[in-house]
Structure 1
Amino acid sequence: MSQADLTKMSEKAAIRVDELPIFAPDLDAVHEYQFIGLNNRDSRSRPFHLLRTTLSKRLKEKNYRLVGITSATPAAGKSFLSMNLAASLAQVVDDPVFLVDLDLRRASLARDIGLDVNRGISDFLTGDVSDLPSIAIRIEGSNLTLFPTKRVSNNTAELVSGTNFDHLINSLREQTGQSIILFDLPPAFANDDTMLILEKLDSYIMVVDSGETNRRQVQDMLVMLDPVPCAGTILNRYRGGFGDSYGYGYGASSYTKYYD
């Protein structure tokens, strides 16, 4: 491939946030799924504001930009935390924050904010869509850009290990400035997608469900994902600390029901 072709591909993949279509999350969906990271007046957003400060400092220290968010067990609140943490980060950083839904078999991020997906990351990975910016959506009133996906029932490992996935990662790395790119990943033990994806990322954040995740699962997950560095751990549903309630009432952690 010539240098001219590479230049054209790079220009095509450039994401100009101010030119993206804007989506206003459905208020009913916001209420149901507690998308609170953009609402500073909501007291429940305080844990995410504390997390964003700690995380942004860690990312700068380690020069991590592409960070996956995963959990050992299903129903640990991973996608909920991904969305709210990304939204909270987008309020305080100068460069855009990108959130990519790579939990392809669930595709919950768009659903949780009431967004109908006509084209998404899954289409880019299959090659049905070649223009990455065309699937990006900017969340109204924020510096947050979402890359949603349509649900994929099988062969997801092939999608996250192919050349189109490499192109996706390279395109995101080439975005100007110090943009933070977060990826909502499947639970580590649900399939091998997370291990394949993390080979191309800088680090990951582990979500631990204080009511379900046990020490052995955490230890096994750290070993399984080695040598990718863990940027930090979020203890979800913890009650205490600053007087806030961190319990959000997710369902049972059954792997067999995760993709129903």
Structure 2
Amino acid sequence: MNKYNPLNESRSLLERAAEIYDYVPVVRDQAGESDESRLLPPENSHQSQPTAGSVPVAAYAGPRVIVDRDKLREAGFIVPDGPVTGISEEFRIIKRQLLLTAKGSQRQAPVPHGERILICSAHPNEGKTFSALNLALSIAAEKDNEVLLVDADFAKPSILSSLGLEGNKGLMDALADPELPVENCIIHTDIPGLAILPAGDQTNADTEYLASSRTEQVLNRLTQNNPNRIVIFDSPPALSASPASVLATHVGQVLMIVKADETTETALRDALSLMAGCEHIQLLLNGTKFSPTGRRFGSYYGYGE
């Protein structure tokens, strides 16, 4: 700026400053709302690098939602920022072993793809979705990790309904459509550290899509820019639908839910044989009514059940 190049006094303060400092101001629409304020990236998201002369835009273009805490409480799930309960304490213990396996420790190296955890069961109604969602809520409370909960039960998805959320494009859509970025299907919630990837549209070829080379590419995109993200897959029952066995080849850990007094040893052995694509399998006993050691988590904090 000099006497031969005076500022245009009729322009706004931001526009005049742009001439001096050579930056592009945010363009406002007729309602006075900036494009930038209408497209805010979620916490910890990565923005695409702007090109010369362009306005930076967020890489993430999916929805953000509010989770119904009352619905969580009524269904017996962990409530974020809620009181310490027996359930929340149990999942604190469960997640610690899974996180150690994923991240490694002084005594053991991290497991390849250990950040991908498959939650499965032999048969329906043994508690896999209940466990997957509670595990995700528990990990979301971590200070150094965030969690992406993937509804991979394509035939009977239930994660969204459990949270009181509506349907959206999801994993199967991203696998079927090479032009659809999987990150644009992710739903970010108002619970810090928790995001959801829905199952997506149903198809009769879900197993074939999962077995394709594109699946590994899509799954890599879920964590490639976020090393602190844990991905939890709510799988179909192993003895009821074939996708579970294929999903096991893409994860580093499998958590097999065993329902007390219901899951038979024969069914468990059969289910475990189908999970052979993953080397690290652990069992979680669900629905126990008696502890021989008298363990009663939650009561120490004054909120015993």
Partner of 1:150: 200
Residue in 1 aligned with 2:99? Answer: 56
Given the superposition, is the C-alpha separation of residues 57 and 198 from structure 1 closer, same or farther in structure 2, using an over 3 Å criterion? same
Would the alpha carbon gap of residues 121 and 30 (structure 1) be closer, same or farther in structure 2, given more than 3 Å must change? Answer: same
Measured in 1, the distance between the counterparts of 2:179 and 2:168 equals 11
2:123 aligned to 64, 70, 73, which one? 73
Q: Secondary structure at the match of 1:106?
A: coil
Mark the structure with the bigger radius of gyration: 2
Cα distance in 2 between the residues matched to 1:193 and 1:154 = 11
How far apart are 1:180 and its partner, in Å?
1.3
Kindly, what percent of the aligned residue pairs are identical?
A: 24
Residue 221 in 1 paired to residue 263 in 2? no
Mapped partners of 1:16, 1:229: distance in 2: 34
Instruction: Tell me the distance in 2 between the aligned counterparts of 1:165 and 1:17.
Output: 26
Question: Any idea what the Cα deviations from partners look like across 1:222-250, whole Å, max 9, x if unmatched?
Answer: 222224123421100012332269xxxxx
Structure-1 residue corresponding to 2:262: 212
Kindly provide the CA deviation profile for residues 168-217 of structure 1, in whole angstroms up to 9, marking residues without a partner as x. Answer: 12212423323211111111111211111111221211110112101122
- Report the Cα distance in structure 1 between the residues aligned to 2:208 and 2:282, rounded to whole angstroms: 28
- For 1:1-260, what aligned pairs fall within 5 Å after superposition? 17-19=43-45, 21-36=63-78, 38-43=80-85, 44-61=87-104, 62-63=110-111, 64-127=114-177, 130-150=180-200, 152=202, 154-241=204-291, 242-243=295-296
Which amino acid counterpart does residue 113 of structure 1 have in structure 2? L
The 10-residue stretch of structure 1 (236-245 or 113-122) with the greater mean CA deviation from structure 2 = 236-245
Structure 1 segments (4+ residues) deviating >6 Å: none
TM-score by length of 1: 0.79
If asked which structure has higher relative contact order (CA below 8 Å, sep 6+), I would say 1
Higher helix share: 1
**Contact 1:77–1:236 (CA under 8 A) maintained in structure 2:** yes
Letter in 1 for 2:257: V
For residues 88-130 of structure 1, give each alpha carbon's deviation from its aligned partner in whole angstroms, at most 9, with x where no partner exists: 0111141321111111111100111111123222221221861
Once residues 254 and 238 of structure 2 are traced to their aligned partners in structure 1, the CA distance between those partners, rounded to angstroms, is: 11
- Does the CA-based 8 Å contact 2:133-2:149 persist in structure 1? yes
For residues 16 and 58 of structure 1, do their structure 2 counterparts lie closer, same or farther at Cα, with a shift above 3 Å needed?
same
Is contact 2:248-2:276 (8 Å) kept? no
Paired residues of 1:103 and 1:186 also in contact (CA < 8 A) = yes
Whether the 8 Å CA contact 1:110–1:149 is kept in 2: the answer is no
C-alpha change, 1:113 and 1:16, in structure 2 (3 Å) is: closer
How many matched pairs?
231
Give the secondary-structure state (helix, strand or coil) at the position aligned to 1:80.
Answer: helix
Q: Residues 260 and 286 of structure 2 are in contact (CA less than 8 Å); yes or no, is this contact kept in structure 1?
A: yes
CA contact (8 A) 1:71 1:78 kept: yes
Check 1:239–1:54 CA distance in 2 against 1; reply closer, same or farther (3 A cut): farther
Return the letter of the residue paired with 2:103: K
Q: Which runs of 5+ in 2 are unaligned?
A: 1-40, 46-59, 105-109, 299-305
Secondary structure in 1 matching 2:119: strand
Amino acid at match of 1:56: L
Which deviates more from structure 2 when the two are superposed, residues 53-62 or residues 202-211? 53-62
CA contact (8 A) 2:117 2:252 kept: yes
Whole-angstrom distance in 2 between the partners of 1:68 and 1:240: 27
SS, match of residue 250 in structure 2: coil
Paired with 2:138 and 2:231, the residues of 1 have a C-alpha distance of 13
Q: Which deviates the most, 126-135 or 214-223?
A: 126-135
